[in-house]
Amino acid sequence: MSLLDVKNLCVDFNTDQGTVHAVRDISFTVGESESVGIVGESGSGKSVSMYAVMGLLASNGAIRGGSISYGGEEITETAFANHKAYEARMSRLRGNEMSMIFQDPMTFLNPVLKIGSQITEVIRNHNKVSDAEARARAITLMGQVGIPSPERRLNQYPHEFSGGMRQRIIIAIALANHPRLVIADEPTTALDVTIQAQVLDVIKEMKEKLSSSVIMITHDLGVVASFCDRIIIMYGGKIVETGSAREIFYEPKHPYTAGLLKCVHNPEKKEKLTPIAGSPPDLLMPPAGCPFVDRCPDAMKICKLKMPEMEQYSKTHQSACWLSEAARRKGEQHG
Amino acid sequence: MAEHENKTAVATTASQGQEPPMISVEHVKTYFDVTKGLFSPKQIVKAVDDVSFIIGEKETYGLVGESGCGKSTLGRTMVQIHPVTGGRILYRGKDVDKLRGAERKKFTREVQMIFQDPYASLNPRMTVGEIIKEPMEIHKMYDSAKEREERAAELLKMVGLKPDHIRRYPHEFSGGQRQRISIARTLSLNPCFIVCDEPISALDVSIQAQIINLLKEIQDELGISYLFVAHDLSMVEYISDRIGVMYLGHLVEEGTADEVYGSPLHPYTKALLSAIPVPDPDAAEKRKRIHLAGELPTPINPPPGCPFKGRCPIATEECGKARPELKDYNGHKAACIHI
Amino acid sequence: MDMTKAEIMLDDSCFERLDDSEKNTEFIAMESKTYLRDAWDCFKKNRLALGGLMFLLFMILMAVLVPIVSPYTYDAQNLDMRNAAPSMKHLLGTDKLGRDILVRLMFGARISLMVGFVAAFLNLIIGVVYGGISGYIGGKTDMIMMRVIDCIYSIPSMLYVILIMMVFGSNIGSVLLGICVSSWIGMARQVRTQVQTLKQQEFALAAFVLGASHFRILFKHLILNCMGPIIVSTTLMVPEAIFTESFLAFIGIGISLPQASWGTLASEARSVIQSYPLQIVWPVLAICLTVLSLNFIGDGVGEALDPKNR
């Protein structure tokens, strides 16, 4: 059984300009101790879908349909008697069973509280432990994520830490209660490459130690290539392709995935960059068909009218594109 | 001091006879005084500390390094946003700091900058048309408003937007579209040299490639030179002819893109290259990573010696003694005593 | 969604390549709205602010029309009709010298509103220019300009008013001058802080690199971008000035009789408050409602111009 099972999830946001359909009918699963990468551009719905899972949507956003189940338990708000019951359950889960690593540590850390008290708070929220015990655990955690001399740094404030160190603290807080599911929302985007490499190593190491599942939200294909077992590609609020890292990088089926791979420069291969023309769709008025139609080099008439179904290529590899159907028809005509 | 003046004199005489290079950065220093209060000890941030390089016609010079290494400060110093603390910047043989009147006006027209954040670099209260036309108005280019309007529409087309976007406001555009607007604004002055200050780091992957290719196309068409400042090393390799690697205000390595990426000399460059995440699972597995401990130290009152010694895997006691000079190895330069 | 799925027949024509012209590239779904239009749409949704604006417009209209249309003048005394109660002849009654209260009230409205708006306008100009220059230049100039402000601020504003009145006599000009001497300081400080943060923004740097003059950068780029808070403070400055003027008039430092602002009317009515309490109600009500509605407008404008609401 999978740890997280999301079915037909839809998320809308109300704005001055109208309703933004940020996530439109996505389904995916995450297994035990699996690492999954969700890749997409800004506005593709990758972060929103995960915030919806955590029950952390902004006040103008709401889940409009679908279901989310965690470890077999339904955690969609509609499955609870009322909002209060839902919130009560979610706050038991959040930070304990599932937790999140945020992109910007400074917005997450309280600037006027000492680092130590911020870590022990998370531990004591979910466990009945003494002050000293929580403190000891915090020190071990800080050591584990690679913060030098944790006893001393426990008494410092967030602004006394560098960006990379703050991100390590966020990781320590997220992992304090040994969660089964960790969602990392662009954890290294704000960091420099050498620091990014360090932070990714820490996440990887901790994941192995705790055998948790990790969902890595990112726009950087380089990050998921070395980190994730399975990759989900999102575009325009929809999942367009999922597959193992090798399937995605070496046999992409969806033109968006293929295009994305041609957009990143690999200095080891001297290839010319081929950008994807145009801009991402405006989700105030999402297209009826495939969201990628306006930028796709191989777009067909049908693509504008109807969203293609997910097609299975292997046990792990799925993609939603009309091109395979077109190829099949051509084959029939010739045969 | 005398030695320093000597070197400058040599550089000037060497470039005499033939055309001076488009941009010549000579021992440039940009310091900031960050002393707090009247009576506390003086605190000087040496953001850029004695950096020299040359950029030729139609050349792209890539400047890479981690945040805080001074690459953006150097870019901004070149367009006079920050004053030069020491050394000088020559544009076509003339000291940029000493330009006055018509010559200075010409400099502000020919040397331009593209900024990092496409959300902050466009005035939110102006329409796209007003934004693109403003530089032409400032420099009194074209005779009539109608001609400027036509030119603005033409520029919008050139960067891949529609002429009817001219009446819209910046907030209605996506990040990539805004960056293209800002490129169109820059091009309205027909510049010769553009400082690109991390122009793609705030953009999505598919859009980054668009902007990079657009910049390349423009270069081919108009023969512009670029200083390309970025922390994304793989993109810098793609667009640059020559690359300089900065660390803590110093230039630690310089060479052609192939030299720097293919056979890096400086241990910092090696570590930096090995830390880039490659979009290729097999290659990522095979690759050997050089793990760098620690982080960039602060540039406030830095200690003497090699700036990289604290994190360097091959550092010895020797490194703490004097700052290594940038030495020439057949055109490929590096500042490390262990090569 | 399901409807369309059923309707589309999957024939071969559906699988023809889409022409580039059929693609909707660089499409913007958002409706194009100017800044002011957007702000007005937001302002309209605020009922209190809209009500305040209506009342203010009504008050201005009355202040202009009533003294013209009415058969009475503000200073014509009718000693036979002293302290008359409201009637058809005198809608709000008459005062102790038999003058029509409505006409005097509306004449007072002219003075009070004018003082309010002119003072706010002067504050706007002085504060924006002073604060803008101080914040933009920065460094030593900024420090000196700010210390000058501190000096002005250290003397109580009432003292300025009394001194000015003594020198220039009690007329509307000296009242305005008295109110303006120190009240622009808040505006200047606010603009200075705004300009200081905005001048570091990339669009201001971009303007500099493009060769824009300092005057252009300051007024076209920086001031234009802090117009929101500036307009809000200006709107809130109007009721403040009206209040100050009324207060001065009430304690007897103000424009000379028989002209009357609302404060003067209230002060006059005070002497007959025991026998004719209604007379003091009118000017006080006028002050309260006007100040209240201006405050509502200020809040509404603040909300409408706040970039966070977008």
The DSSP secondary structure of A253-269, one letter per residue, reads -SHHHHHHHHHS--TTS
Rounded CA-CA distance A185/A163 in Å is 16
B294 min Cα distance to partner chain A (Å) = 8
How confident is the model at residue C119, as a pLDDT?
Answer: 92
A16/C contact by beta carbon, under 8 A: yes
Q: Do C17 and A299 touch (CB under 8 A)?
A: yes
Joined tokens for residue B302 = 């830095």
Instruction: Sort out which chain A residues have CB atoms less than 8 A from B175's CB and list them.
Output: 42
Count interface pairs A-B at CB distance under 8 A.
122
Question: Is B274 strand, coil or helix?
Answer: helix
Q: Do C14 and A305 touch (CB under 8 A)?
A: yes
A147 min Cα distance to partner chain B (Å) = 10
CATH number of A101-183+191-211, picked from 3.40.225.10, 3.30.70.1400, 3.40.710.10, 3.40.50.300: 3.40.50.300
Q: Do C4 and A322 touch (CB under 8 A)?
A: no
pLDDT reading at C4 higher than 60: no
Q: Do B206 and A41 touch (CB under 8 A)?
A: yes
The helix (H) or strand (E) run that includes residue A240 is: strand A238-244
Joined tokens for residue C240 = 């403040």
Among chain B residues, CA nearest to C216: B138
Question: Is B5 strand, coil or helix?
Answer: helix
B10 min Cα distance to partner chain C (Å) = 31
Alpha-carbon distances of A9 from A46, A56, A92, B108, C99, rounded to whole Å: 12, 15, 22, 53, 75
Q: How confident is the model at residue C264 (pLDDT cuts 50, 70, 90)?
A: confident
Q: Which residues contact C81 (CB under 8 A, 6 or more apart)?
A: C90, C94, C98
CATH number of the structural domain spanning residue B281? 3.40.50.300
Q: Do B281 and A193 touch (CB under 8 A)?
A: no
Q: Do A265 and B277 touch (CB under 8 A)?
A: no
pLDDT reading at C157 higher than 60: yes
Alpha-carbon distances of C175 from A184, C126, C259, rounded to whole Å: 63, 17, 14
Radius of gyration of chain B (CA): 21
Rounded CA-CA distance B258/C250 in Å is 84
Joined tokens for residue B17 = 């006879």
Q: Which domain holds residue B130?
A: 2-334
Pair A37, A224: CB distance under 8 Å: yes
Pair A272, A281: CB distance under 8 Å: no
The helix (H) or strand (E) run that includes residue B179 is: helix B175-187
Joined tokens for residue A189 = 């985007």
The interface residues of chain A toward chain C in range 270-289, judged by CB-CB distance below 8 A, are: 277-279, 281-282, 284-285, 287-288
Pair A162, A110: CB distance under 8 Å: no
Among chain C residues, CA nearest to A18: C30
Q: Torsion over CA of B257, B260, B262 and B263, rounded to 10 degrees?
A: 150
Rounded CA-CA distance A183/A51 in Å is 9
Joined tokens for residue B331 = 């055109």
pLDDT reading at C81 higher than 90: no
Among chain A residues, CA nearest to B278: A222
Q: How confident is the model at residue C28 (pLDDT cuts 50, 70, 90)?
A: low
How confident is the model at residue A215, as a pLDDT?
Answer: 95
Q: Do C211 and B125 touch (CB under 8 A)?
A: no
Kindly list the domain boundaries of chain A, sorted by start residue. Answer: 101-183+191-211
Q: How confident is the model at residue C150 (pLDDT cuts 50, 70, 90)?
A: very high
Among chain B residues, CA nearest to C208: B81
Pair A213, A32: CB distance under 8 Å: yes
How confident is the model at residue A254, as a pLDDT?
Answer: 94
Per-block mean pLDDT, blocks of 10 residues, chain B (339 long): 42 56 93 79 87 94 90 93 93 91 91 91 90 93 90 91 87 88 94 94 87 93 94 88 93 93 92 86 83 79 84 88 89 90
**Is the CA virtual torsion B53, B55, B59, B61 positive or negative?**
positive
* Residue B339 domain-assigned (yes or no): no
Partners of chain A (3+ Cβ pairs below 8 A): B, C
Instruction: Sort out which chain C residues have CB atoms less than 8 A from A288's CB and list them.
Output: 1, 4
Joined tokens for residue C194 = 């705004």
Among chain A residues, CA nearest to B268: A194
DSSP A164-200: HHHHHHHHHHHHTT--SEEEEESTTTTS-HHHHHHHH
- Range among B262-271, C72-81, C155-164 rated most confident: B262-271
> Is there a cis peptide before residue A255, judged by omega within 30 degrees of 0?
no
Helical ranges in A28-95 per DSSP H: 46-54, 83-93
Rounded CA-CA distance B54/B27 in Å is 11
Q: How confident is the model at residue C31 (pLDDT cuts 50, 70, 90)?
A: low
A328/C contact by beta carbon, under 8 A: no
pLDDT reading at C7 higher than 60: no
Kindly list the domain boundaries of chain C, sorted by start residue. Answer: 36-309
Q: Do A265 and B237 touch (CB under 8 A)?
A: yes
In chain C, % of residues over pLDDT 70 = 92
Residues of chain A with pLDDT under 70: 1, 335
Q: Are strands B225-230 and B242-247 parallel, antiparallel or unpaired?
A: unpaired
Rounded CA-CA distance A212/B157 in Å is 50
The ipTM (two decimal places) reads: 0.85
Rounded CA-CA distance B244/B250 in Å is 10
Among chain B residues, CA nearest to A261: B279
Q: Which residues contact A275 (CB under 8 A, 6 or more apart)?
A: A262, A263, B206, B207, B209, B210, B212, B213
Pair B204, A219: CB distance under 8 Å: yes
Alpha-carbon distances of B210 from A177, B169, B178, B217, C27, rounded to whole Å: 44, 22, 13, 10, 17
How would you class C169 by CB atoms within 10 Å of its CB: exposed for 0-12, middle for 13-18, buried for 19 or more?
exposed
Instruction: Sort out which chain A residues have CB atoms less than 8 A from B276's CB and list them.
Output: 193, 222, 267
Rounded CA-CA distance B271/B292 in Å is 7
Q: How confident is the model at residue C167 (pLDDT cuts 50, 70, 90)?
A: confident
Joined tokens for residue C265 = 């009317």
Per-residue pLDDT tens for B226-249?
Answer: 999 998 888 899 999 999 999 999
Instruction: Sort out which chain A residues have CB atoms less than 8 A from C33's CB and list them.
Output: none
Indicate which of C24, C30, C210 best probes the interface with B, i.e. most B CBs within 10 Å of its own CB: C210
Q: Do A279 and B212 touch (CB under 8 A)?
A: no
Joined tokens for residue B43 = 């605190």
Pair C13, A304: CB distance under 8 Å: no
B289 min Cα distance to partner chain A (Å) = 9
Q: Do A221 and B295 touch (CB under 8 A)?
A: no
Rounded CA-CA distance A113/B277 in Å is 34
Instruction: Sort out which chain C residues have CB atoms less than 8 A from A304's CB and list them.
Output: 18, 22
The count of domains in chain B is 1
Q: Do C210 and B161 touch (CB under 8 A)?
A: no
Instruction: Sort out which chain C residues have CB atoms less than 8 A from A301's CB and list them.
Output: 13-16, 18
Nearest-by-Cβ selection for A300 from C15, C25, C310: C15
Rounded CA-CA distance B61/C131 in Å is 41
CATH superfamily of domain region C36-309: MetI-like (1.10.3720.10)
C296 min Cα distance to partner chain B (Å) = 26
Its pTM stands at 0.85
Rounded CA-CA distance A216/A199 in Å is 13
Per-residue pLDDT tens for C285-308?
Answer: 888 999 899 999 988 888 887 765
Among chain B residues, CA nearest to A244: B281
Instruction: Sort out which chain B residues have CB atoms less than 8 A from C207's CB and list them.
Output: 123, 134
